[in-house]
Amino acid sequence: MATGRGLIADFERAFDEFFDEMLIDRWKGGTGPLEFERAQVVDLADRYEVRVAAVGVDPAKIQAEVAGQRLAVRVPDKLGGLLDSSFAFSDSIDGEASTAKWSEGTLVITLPKKKGRRIALKAS
């Protein structure tokens, strides 16, 4: 059961994510990051796959960063800035094993889920 402090932290995190994704990203991009509105997230047993349409974007300028249970993707906009979008997942992601591929205007990011580690009990 979550403590009061844990609930407050969860609420603050959800509020920050809402504010970042729904408001700030739209202000930065004028009409908004349309590429990310068409993003497709697939939850498979051992990994997540995120597909982002970014037609006309130089793939060498796309930035993707994984931290804990989040993926941040930055794509250059027409004004020389960056459009940011982030995705939150229920499972932790193995950032070291994550990969990204570019094909015909679509970025496909594969994010393996971290596996739990079983702890052996020792007799005291």
* Distance between CA atoms of residues 79 and 101, nearest Å: 25
Domain count, the chain: 1
pLDDT in tens, 16-51: 776 665 555 544 444 444 455 578 999 999 999 999
Residue at 123 is within a domain: no
pTM, full prediction: 0.64
Residue at 119 is within a domain: no
pLDDT in tens, 65-100: 999 999 999 888 777 788 888 999 999 999 999 999
Residue 94 has which token pair?
């193995």
Q: The dihedral of CA 76, 81, 83, 89: what is its sign?
A: positive
Residue at 118 is within a domain: no
Residue at 59 is within a domain: yes
More confident residue, 117 or 112: 112
CATH label of the domain that carries residue 49: 2.60.40.790
38 Cβ contact partners less than 8 Å away, ≥ 6 residues apart: 52, 53
Give the pLDDT score at 43: 95
Please give the residue range of the domain that contains residue 95.
4-112
- Closest by CA to 109, choosing from 66, 55, 56, is 66
Which residue intervals of the chain are DSSP H helices? 4-18, 25-28, 34-37
Residue at 88 is within a domain: yes
Q: The dihedral of CA 67, 88, 100, 113: what is its sign?
A: positive
More confident residue, 15 or 1: 15
Residue at 47 is within a domain: yes
